[in-house]
Amino acid sequence: MTARDFESVKKLSIRRGVTWQGGLRRLPLWVTPEGVKPFRPRAAVWVSSFGKVHVGDAVGPDDTSANLVMDAFVEFARHERWGGYLPSRVEVTDPVEAALLAPPLTELGIPVEVTHKLQHVQEALGHLADEAATNPAPGILDAPEMSLERVRSFAEAARLFYEAAPWRHLTDEDLLRIEAPAGLRDAQHGLVLGAGGVEFGVILFGSPRLANAMRRRPGTEPFEHDSAWCVFFGPINEAPLEDADLFEDHGFPVAAPGAYPWPAQIGPKRRMRRPGVRALQHLDAVLRALAASTESDYDEGRWTRVVVTPDGEVPVTLALPDLVDPHPSGARRDPLDD
């Protein structure tokens, strides 16, 4: 932005009662250069209380210059269609951006306020996310009483699980039973995915019927009538946007570039919901127990591991019912035939 550009906005009138919210934001889309980790570009975003949106030039993830915010502000004010005026108030969330904007805007009679949330900006970015066809799941921190500590612990549990690679010993036909902790009624059985080398993760559900359906009708929709808690692993651009931001901003551990975990409950018609505190605690404990399990544990058929979670030590007892449940007349039965 040149001095001449800024001088031109001084001539614009202030429109009373109009607020502009803005700041430098990650855009809700992924850039995936060949041979480089996917990244989300940044841009200065300004949204008026009328709902008009202006997005400045996109830059790389390492360019965090607050000057971009002022440049985009001037562009918005001078915009041929949306602009031609100045707001009576400006709101941002970043004190650094506020400190940059305050001197010139105060000179124009426009106060700059720092607030914890920019509703108009969030809504605008949400619309952009819909258009970009990114993962639509809400962020994991959106659940009531969810904490950063719990999410970090889950990320560590997922890393340990992925590095242990329990799919080396279990196939997606080996039904697991979670005998302790009681945890969730709809997560007392499970399957480890990954033996086929295609999709890695774990799926937990209430009734063995779901595993039965998956076994007998491979390739069909498994969630037609049931719901299941799933932990998916994939590259960062397949995770929900807010989850990806948490891993980037807080340095959460991952086992591999293609092993960013994200948990969700999938139900009929692919309805999805993110875990609350209780569900995430259960997933955390089960992942840690599987990570600590050995080949001899699987051979024995029932075992217990004490794992450490944000709520303290949790004993987890796992079993392979096809190995430990009695079989009538000495015949080996399918544990799913209930």
Q: What is the pLDDT of residues 65-105, one digit of tens each?
A: 778 999 999 999 999 888 899 999 999 999 999 999 999 99
Residue spans of beta strands (DSSP E) within 166-259: 176-180, 189-193, 201-205, 228-234
Q: What is the pTM of this model?
A: 0.83
**Six token digits for residue 107:** 């000179």
The percent of residues above 70 in pLDDT, for the chain, comes to: 91
Nearest to 250 by CA among 176, 173, 140: 140
Quick one: pLDDT at residue 62?
79
Q: Hey, CA dihedral for 266, 268, 273, 276, is it positive or negative?
A: negative
CA angle centred on 21, ends 20 and 24, rounded to 5°:
130
Does the pLDDT at position 278 exceed 80? yes
Residue-range domain boundaries for the chain: 3-132, 140-330
Residue 329 has pLDDT above 50, yes or no: no
Altogether, the residues listed in the chain come to a count of 338
pLDDT beyond 60 at 3: no
The CATH number given to 3-132 is 3.30.420
Residue 297 — φ and ψ, nearest 5°? -60, -45
Confidence at 219, pLDDT banded by 50, 70, 90:
low
The answer, yes or no, to whether residue 332 has pLDDT greater than 50, is no
Distance CA 134, CA 285 (A): 29
Strands (E), 94-206: 112-114, 176-180, 189-193, 201-205
The secondary structure element, H or E, covering residue 128 is: helix 119-132
Instruction: Give how far Cα 279 sits from Cα of 131, 155, 283, Å.
Output: 31, 14, 6
